Amino acid sequence: MQHRSLGRTGIKVSTYCLGAMMFGKMGNPDHDESIRIIHRALDAGINFIDTADRYSAGESEEIVGKALKRRRDSVVLATKFHGSMSDDPNMQGNSRRWITRAVEDSLRRLGTDYIDLYQVHRPSPDTDIEETLSALTDLVRAGKVRAIGSSTFPVSEIVEAQWVAERRGLARFRTEQPPYSILDRGIERDMLPTCQRYGMGVMVWSPLSKGMLTGKYRKGQPLPDSPRAKYFTKQFSDERSLEAVEQLILLAQDAALPLTHLALAFVTAHPGVTSAILGPRTMQHLDDLLAGAEVRLSEDVLDRIDGIVPPGVDVGLNEANYMPPALVRPELRRRPAGERSAA
């Protein structure tokens, strides 16, 4: 397993990061098996684990905490806050009030006294970024957090956060966690160059495009009976994505590679990517992914991928991506009726 610098933090992390979203009732409810999967990943050379407080309502963090007993010092541990943790409207978001509560809850569940990378899971349009960075800076100075990062932020908000941190003398985001796969290449246009410009580490989520790049979802065939297919029906039924998958399956066969290994090697080949997040639910899933850790793609294969999905293009849907308010709320993109008629 190779290791790379996490941006300019000086922290070295494996090119594969173990994502813990599928540990707990959202995926694998068997704590003992989940712990064995974590230990298998660590034994294979992965030293980077990413979770979040909202994954299985804190259960994922609890499982990770159990698994890291007596192994904590050798692991770069990342978690995230933002998502709702109860019906209380203030137990969510990016406010100082919630951050100071959320970090204590995560530290308790993880069984540790510090978090290596504490990330804002999504933007909060109703919260000043200065409010968020100020609270996170206090956590860094208190030693509870080593570095801070963002996840699935628009490029404009990443730049704004960097400027605010510089002007106010606050800790700055050292990492970003965006979606990236052969089918989701939009971040190549601006996101990855921007992160490189600011020296930010990048750990990409969904490098298999939620499983579409496993080869299980095929054009003209019924969707498998799986939790992901139920959650992301539109994405898994998207004709453009399915057509691209068919071409990628043929390319993988020509390259004598499993499609999953092709997909992971593609994202880690980009010079702006630090680590690819794996999200196994079973030991078999993990072992299949680990088998491709040393795969390197030739220029010819990379060129052929570009021919199927051009650089900077998102082929299909990503139903888990962040949608800014201007796209979700019609009143933010439509003038009042009186102004439209006057025009």
142-163 burial: b if 16+ Cβ within 10 Å, else e: eebbbbbbbbbbebebbeebbe
Q: What percent of the chain has pLDDT over 90?
A: 83
- With bands split at pLDDT 50, 70 and 90, how would you rate the model's confidence at 343? low
- With bands split at pLDDT 50, 70 and 90, how would you rate the model's confidence at 152? very high
Distance of alpha carbon 270 from the chain centroid: 16
CA distance 81 to 139: 13
Question: Would you say residue 299 has pLDDT above 80?
Answer: yes
CA distance 254 to 178: 30
Q: Which domains does the chain have, with CATH numbers?
A: 3-209+258-298 (3.20.20.100)
Question: Would you say residue 267 has pLDDT above 70?
Answer: yes
pLDDT of residue 229: 60
Task: Single out the catalytic residue among 55, 118, 180, 217.
Answer: 55
CA distance 156 to 338: 31
pLDDT of residue 237: 74
> pLDDT tens for residues 179-232?
999 999 999 999 999 999 999 999 999 999 988 999 887 776 776 666 666 667
CA distance 258 to 17: 20
- With bands split at pLDDT 50, 70 and 90, how would you rate the model's confidence at 340? low
Provide the whole-model pTM: 0.92
**Whether 72 contacts 2, CB under 8 Å:** no
- Per-chain mean pLDDT for the chain: 93
CA distance 103 to 78: 12
> Does residue 198 have an active-site annotation?
no
> Which range has the worst mean pLDDT, 127-136, 278-287, 332-341?
332-341
Cβ-based neighbour number of residue 251 at 10 Å: 17
pLDDT of residue 298: 97
Q: What percent of the chain has pLDDT over 70?
A: 94
**What is the 3-state secondary structure of 189-234?**
CCHHHHHHHCCCEEEEECCCHHHHHHCCCCCCCCCCCCHHHHHCHH
> pLDDT tens for residues 96-122?
999 999 999 999 999 999 999 999 999
Q: What angle do CA 79, 81, 84 make, to 5 degrees?
A: 135
CA distance 246 to 182: 13
Helix (H, G, I), strand (E, B) or coil at 146: strand
Strand 12-14 versus strand 3-5 pairing type:
antiparallel
Query: 221-230 long-range contacts, Cβ below 8 Å, gap at least 24?
Result: 227/27
**What is the 3-state secondary structure of 79-101?**
EEECCCCCCCCCCCCCCHHHHHH
pLDDT of residue 117: 98
> Which range has the worst mean pLDDT, 33-37, 92-96, 232-236?
232-236
pLDDT of residue 231: 64
- With bands split at pLDDT 50, 70 and 90, how would you rate the model's confidence at 93? very high
Nearest Cα to Cα of residue 205 among 113, 281, 121: 121
Phi-psi region of 84 (alpha: psi -120 to 50; beta: other; left: phi over 0): beta
